[in-house]
Structure 1
Amino acid sequence: MSTALTVIAALHRAARAYPRKRAVVVNDRVLTFAEILERADRLAAGLRHAGVSRGTKIAMLMGNRIEFPEIYFGVLKTGATLVVLNARLKGPEVSALIRKSEARWLIFAGELSGVVSALDAVTRQQLTLVALGGSGAPASIAYDSLQCASPRADAATEVSEADDACILFTSGTTGTPKGVLLTHRNVLFQAINHVVEWDVRFDDVDLYPAPLCHGGGLATLPRTILAGNTLVLMESFDARSFATLLERERVTRAILVPTMCARILDLPDALFARARSLRLIVTGGAILPFDLKMRLIERFPGVGVCDSYGQTEATGSVACLKPGDALRKPGSIGRAFFLNDIRLFDEQDAEVPAGEVGEIVVRGPTVMRGYCGELEASAQTLRNGWLHTGDLARQDEDGCLYIVGRKKDMIISGGINIYPREIEDVLCAHPGILEAAVIGVADPVWGESVKALVVPGPGVELRADEVIDFCRQRLAGYKKPRSVELVDSLPKNSLGKTLKAELRRKFGAVFEHEP
């Protein structure tokens, strides 16, 4: 067995140490650690027999299925790179990402045959299509036919910790998605980060209801393998089903995004009365509003709430606010993870003093190798050993970080830097406002002016001048919105992040500031 710092070596150790322990649960289907290894071995052997070799790129398009772990580990055992795609994408979007990643295989869930059929002709021609269940798509082969009945252990590909394990695409909230190259070393060290920072225990049962295709989701599999705990997946999130699973599976840790927290809190307390095993809620994907955090703490007394912050380029989370600081540090994302070093830099890449705003930069073994096929963007983002995140923050005297916004979201009005996050926090404190987003729009006098997009609460009648007056009483005059638009909803990705690029396109922002 290899002693390399790879996910595959970790899987072999887990299967040998606790072969019959439950590893992954989806609905009523369960896989043990030994079963995941056995199924991954069969798939890897079949893929090798079909011509897959080290460096081949294999795309994957599916939701949270029970087969996800065996495909993840099976592909990596061949030395190939797994290109993880969001199952919510449409045909043209999938085509673009496959071209960008240079994938030559696509393993997809049969129920997504319509998406695959909508791929453009050039993309289709370069792919070997593998359908998992369903009727498949034209020119596809059945997933089961790839599984080798008796895989030979000596045929395994030797995988290095420096080899690319995955390509994950950024959320594209401020622009076009980029393919992030993550190595086996990146993935394994991130699992170590999680085990240390989130106090993952052997007897823990994790409940993960978000899509696995994102950085935080994909990190759950290596973490489970490393810690030897159990991972319960939801095929799609439903608050009532979540409540049922908490009790049925005796969940100890739930990993959620803020929009899920809001839906859970809309349910009656009685539905959670018997969920006594829960000890920790970890949130990520977007900033958890403080009022939601307070309500979570009230709903689940004695349960810790841990906010996390990260980026796909750093294999997910790089910082978290521990439960002990949850009420003491409102609005903070906490401190750097065990294996990450975080600083705040100015425009000259010099560290800023405590209390001043700077760009979050990260270094450590979880930082990506680069962007797929984008050398210039890689060089711009990875400078002098630091990952430049594009997020602006300040740090207090205790070392806790506070996000103030994205560099590309920053508004420059009359030569003054304005951070949308500060204005959004004020807007969301209005009792009649459910959600808000702030962007900069063209202004003939000031260059840019502040525009607020506001979602009123159910049954609430709001006026734009009322919102502006509310902000005038709480913000400096140059920060208050000059215009307010009432909207039914804000465009978001599957993790609940607001798509600011879409808002700028729709409402006429002047430009995106270069980082």
Structure 2
Amino acid sequence: MIHSLTLSDVLAEHARSRPETTAVVDGEVRLTYPALDERVSRLADALAARGVAPGERVLWLGQNSHAVLELLLACSRLGAVLCPANWRQSADELRFVVEDLTPRVVVWEPSEATTAVQEVLGASDAAWVRAGQAYEELVAGGSVRGFPQVADTEPALALYTAAFDGRPNAALLSSAALVAHSASLLVVRQMEPGFTFLASGPLFHVGTMMFCLATLQIGGTNVFTPAFDPEEVCRLIDAERVTQAFLFGQMIDAVVAVRPQGKYDLSSLRFVSHSAEWDELITVDDSPWCRSKMGGYGQTEVGGMLTFLGLAPGAAGFAGRPSPFVQVRILGPDGAEVPAGEVGEICARGKTLFSGYFARPELNAAKSAHGWHHTGDLGRREPDGTITFIGPRLRMIKSGAENVYPAEVERALKSHPAVADAAVIGVPDERWHQAVRAVVVLAPDATATAEELIGHVKGLLASYKKPRDVVFADAIPKRGFTPDYDALDQAHGGGNYPGT
């Protein structure tokens, strides 16, 4: 184990090397690295007493909290796996996650969906611990003790993604992969001691989690807020002298719109240039990450970013060059590399890649064919060696920062008794980049309104996945057994897909 370095090891070293540094801020909670390390040890002991052994899973059902980082570090200490689930999902979606992941412990915050799931599954073999007082009692009840060394190749984090067949899959990321990815991000973002990150995006999203863990890696301060609220973001940036936050276009515009003139000082935020109004409020950062507008290509399965535009200023390929910890190849269907200039599948291997999907042996075999991770996305190697992202092999809709897989929405639509067939496309949207449009064929003699079908989907899936509108048709054009999405786009105004 002399060459192993887990997330737990990173924390333990900071507890010795940075005894006075604030590691965590969450409301009234302020923890130094030694205090965080002690809580993580107590939590790991308490989880072990509830059956969390190496390889077991712990599930978080709730909004952002310092508890997510504590649970992840405690799982790393035990050789277990934490999954922070998307709290915005419906009760049906969350029930699937619980039944699929079979966690030993579930820590949950009350909401309409989580409460419904807890009432149904709370009597299962898993121990259900309510966030807040019960969670604090769990931590306090544990003992500070030593733990056996865990190999850094063991999975520590699971994030649900890639709903290829209508249901998502849990991508497993090891400590080694997460530490390597953090190291690459530290270089491109030029993170330094004193770096303070505001987790204003969801921690079930790899984009937020990767910065949270890079901040841990550098011994910085992680500031947590339950969910994005523009004025609270302003207050926290000012109060905690935040360096970086999870923000993108619409979120930035919301911050600019709500900031009372002169009320908050946002100058500590070293961020991407966005608009004249925004640039006046912050310090425009000159790191490769920010100069490139956070450009690159990534996915959950590669730990976040596979390529960085910041490593290729002036490049021909707008996805940039690979992280120093990976190899990237553009492969054809036979597994052979295609020549520069030709389109193939973006494939990779290296230190930041995931360990496969939980309990998906057939999918894992397919995704690792020919000794490479197959991303499911198309790309091209340019003459200067950089990468251009073309688009998903399987159709995906990008609405705001969220990925919507048509198969998932189609499955929900087809569960309505009036629907004989359905297909889902993305249509251009000025604010959200794309919106979801459903094309529906009703069963003979059946009736249903667009509002009824939209409401049906909303009851089964997260609200952002529901169709914005419904087009009724006599038939869905097909290519074999699957919808002919190109024909549907042409007939019903589809377009603006990622990479186009």
Q: TM-score range by the shorter chain?
A: 0.7 to 0.9
Q: Which residue of the partner structure matches residue 99 of structure 1?
A: 99
Deviations along 1:316-375, one digit per CA (max 9) or x if unpaired, are: 2212222984xx569822221121222222222222233332221111111111111111
Q: Which residue of the partner structure matches residue 341 of structure 1?
A: 327
Deviations along 1:136-159, one digit per CA (max 9) or x if unpaired, are: xxxxxx3233235572423x1331
Deviations along 1:248-268, one digit per CA (max 9) or x if unpaired, are: 322222332444244345567
Structure 2 residue aligned with 1:317, among 282, 305, 312? 305
- Identity percentage of aligned residues: 26
Structure 2 CA distance for aligned equivalents of residues 39 and 330 of structure 1: 48
Deviations along 1:77-131, one digit per CA (max 9) or x if unpaired, are: 222221221121232212211222221221112x337524335746742321111
Shift of 1:18: 0.3
Structure 1 residue aligned with 2:155, among 149, 159, 164? 164
Shift of 1:47: 1.9
Q: Which residue of the partner structure matches residue 176 of structure 2?
A: 185
Structure 2 residue aligned with 1:453, among 406, 419, 427? 427
Which secondary structure does the structure 2 equivalent of 1:8 belong to? helix
Shift of 1:502: 10
1:10-409 aligned within 5 A = 10-109=10-109, 111-112=110-111, 115-119=114-118, 121=120, 124-133=123-132, 142-148=134-140, 151-154=143-146, 156-170=147-161, 172=163, 175-264=166-255, 266=257, 274-281=265-272, 302-303=284-285, 304=290, 305-322=293-310, 325=313, 328=314, 332-409=318-395
* 2:346 and 2:376 in contact (8 A); partners too: yes
Structure 2 CA distance for aligned equivalents of residues 145 and 74 of structure 1: 16
Structure 2 CA distance for aligned equivalents of residues 323 and 272 of structure 1: 37
* 1:3 and 1:9 in contact (8 A); partners too: no
1:230/1:504 Cα in 2 relative to 1: closer, same or farther (>3 Å)?
Answer: farther
Q: Which residue of the partner structure matches residue 468 of structure 1?
A: none
* 1:208 and 1:255 in contact (8 A); partners too: yes
Which secondary structure does the structure 1 equivalent of 2:178 belong to? helix
1:246/1:122 Cα in 2 relative to 1: closer, same or farther (>3 Å)?
Answer: closer
Question: What letter corresponds to residue 252 of structure 1 in structure 2?
Answer: T
Shift of 1:13: 0.4
Question: What letter corresponds to residue 103 of structure 1 in structure 2?
Answer: P
* 1:2 and 1:9 in contact (8 A); partners too: no
* 2:330 and 2:344 in contact (8 A); partners too: yes
Worse-superposed segment, 61-70 or 504-513: 504-513
Structure 2 residue 5 is the aligned partner of structure 1 residue 5: yes
Deviations along 1:149-205, one digit per CA (max 9) or x if unpaired, are: 572423x13311122212211153884211112222222222222212221111222
Question: What letter corresponds to residue 383 of structure 1 in structure 2?
Answer: A
1:211/1:122 Cα in 2 relative to 1: closer, same or farther (>3 Å)?
Answer: closer
1:273/1:44 Cα in 2 relative to 1: closer, same or farther (>3 Å)?
Answer: closer
* 1:42 and 1:149 in contact (8 A); partners too: yes
Structure 2 CA distance for aligned equivalents of residues 439 and 99 of structure 1: 23
* 1:180 and 1:312 in contact (8 A); partners too: yes
Question: What letter corresponds to residue 270 of structure 2 in structure 1?
Answer: R
Structure 2 CA distance for aligned equivalents of residues 505 and 330 of structure 1: 40
Question: What letter corresponds to residue 129 of structure 1 in structure 2?
Answer: W
Question: What letter corresponds to residue 130 of structure 1 in structure 2?
Answer: V
Q: Which residue of the partner structure matches residue 488 of structure 2?
A: none
Structure 2 CA distance for aligned equivalents of residues 506 and 88 of structure 1: 28
Shift of 1:11: 0.8
Which secondary structure does the structure 2 equivalent of 1:201 belong to? coil
What RMSD, in angstroms, separates the aligned Cα atoms of the two structures?
4.1
Shift of 1:398: 3.2
Size of the alignment, in residue pairs? 431
Which secondary structure does the structure 2 equivalent of 1:390 belong to? strand
Structure 2 CA distance for aligned equivalents of residues 39 and 90 of structure 1: 32
Structure 2 CA distance for aligned equivalents of residues 58 and 22 of structure 1: 26
Q: Which residue of the partner structure matches residue 481 of structure 1?
A: none
Deviations along 1:467-494, one digit per CA (max 9) or x if unpaired, are: xxxxxxxxxxxxxxxxxxxxx9xx99xx
* 1:246 and 1:275 in contact (8 A); partners too: yes
Structure 2 CA distance for aligned equivalents of residues 144 and 238 of structure 1: 26
Runs (5+) with no aligned partner, structure 2: 408-422, 433-453, 486-500
1:349/1:173 Cα in 2 relative to 1: closer, same or farther (>3 Å)?
Answer: closer
Structure 2 CA distance for aligned equivalents of residues 66 and 112 of structure 1: 19
Structure 2 CA distance for aligned equivalents of residues 152 and 203 of structure 1: 28
Q: Which residue of the partner structure matches residue 467 of structure 1?
A: none
Question: What letter corresponds to residue 307 of structure 1 in structure 2?
Answer: G
1:28/1:270 Cα in 2 relative to 1: closer, same or farther (>3 Å)?
Answer: same
Shift of 1:505: 11
* 1:438 and 1:452 in contact (8 A); partners too: no
Question: What letter corresponds to residue 218 of structure 1 in structure 2?
Answer: M
Which secondary structure does the structure 1 equivalent of 2:66 belong to? coil
Shift of 1:513: 8.7
Question: What letter corresponds to residue 337 of structure 1 in structure 2?
Answer: S
* 1:167 and 1:180 in contact (8 A); partners too: yes
Shift of 1:506: 9.0
Could you tell me the TM-score, scaled by structure 1's length?
A: 0.72
Runs (5+) with no aligned partner, structure 1: 135-141, 283-291, 411-419, 429-436, 441-448, 459-487
1:197/1:160 Cα in 2 relative to 1: closer, same or farther (>3 Å)?
Answer: same
Which secondary structure does the structure 2 equivalent of 1:118 belong to? helix
1:252/1:174 Cα in 2 relative to 1: closer, same or farther (>3 Å)?
Answer: farther
* 1:95 and 1:120 in contact (8 A); partners too: no
Question: What letter corresponds to residue 306 of structure 1 in structure 2?
Answer: M
Structure 2 CA distance for aligned equivalents of residues 160 and 439 of structure 1: 38
